[in-house]
Amino acid sequence: MLNASAILTHPGSSHKDEFLACAVLLAAASTPLPIARREPNPADLDDASLIVVDVGDSHDPTRLNFDHHQFPADHPPTCALSLVLQHLGLYEDAKAFCDWLEPAEWFDCRGPNATARHLGIERDILNRLYSPIDGTLLRRFASVRDLSPGDPLWEVMRWIGTDLLDYVRNLRDRLAFIADHAEVWDVADTHVLFLPRTEPLPEAPSDGIDRYIETALADRGITAIVSPDRRSSGYGLSRHRDATHFDFTRIGGETDVHFAHARGFVAKSSATTPERLRELLSLAQK
């Protein structure tokens, strides 16, 4: 746990990097921390109990200073969130597991035009990805001078930080769990990943499956996934990355299939035996 007395970040407009950095710090702290939004003074930067984020022109983890603006122009894109994750020893896993982190670093350090070029997309596409959730949270954060434990926005920030840390910290264990339990089925001319039901059932049984396929089974050509349905005692059957080998509308009339999406990419079944699930896959195969 992180020991500190408070967090200080810059006033004025708010950006995703210091918002998320503060959220992670709230989740990592040993006690609830207030957040002040003002310019730091030299005493603030020297105070090792005060976390200074995204302001102050100092990156000194020993004094809990996490600013990146003093880095040279050719420095690899690194934002306040990057520095906080590095301090917590989670940066490498975050880069490996959070696909959004690198674009966030680029956007904060290089701006939208360079980020679009880096991603190989048109600049206008970035505008289409705008989230009103992001916009509202950042505007609300920018509008306050001080934020204390118990304030609704403070609680939301801690939720976000907690979920982010839980995901990064737990995903390696989740990938190891999937590796220990998953099977690859040969169904006609394709391959399907099957994850059996275990007790207790994880809150989100499918978490980590796509990442596991990407890292451990990239050469197996997985086209579908069968995993426990958290809403029933059965299983969900779904295409992987929308591969076209299966159309699950074909099994919509089966007595043990209670849902088949009209687009054919997913179905839910009360079937529990591998034999029946394999049969359903065969019936759904194009």
DSSP string, 245-285: TB-GGGGTTSTTEEEE-TTSSEEEE---SHHHHHHHHHHHB
Per-residue pLDDT band for 88 (boundaries 50, 70, 90) equals very high
| 24 has pLDDT over 90 | yes
* pLDDT surpasses 90 at 270: yes
What is the per-residue pLDDT for 56? 98
Q: With bands split at pLDDT 50, 70 and 90, how would you rate the model's confidence at 1?
A: confident
User: Domain 182-284 class?
Assistant: alpha beta
Query: Could you report the per-residue pLDDT of 243-267, keeping only the tens digit for each?
Result: 999 999 999 999 999 999 999 999 9
pLDDT band at 149 (very low <50, low <70, confident <90, very high): very high
* Contact (Cβ atoms closer than 8 angstroms) between residue 93 and residue 168: yes
* pLDDT at residue 283 in the model: 97
Q: How many whole angstroms separate alpha carbon 127 and alpha carbon 270?
A: 42
Mean pLDDT score of the chain = 96
Q: In the chain, which residues fall in CATH 3.10.310?
A: 182-284
Q: What is the pLDDT of residues 177-234, one digit of tens each?
A: 999 999 999 998 899 999 999 988 888 888 899 999 999 999 999 999 999 998 899 9
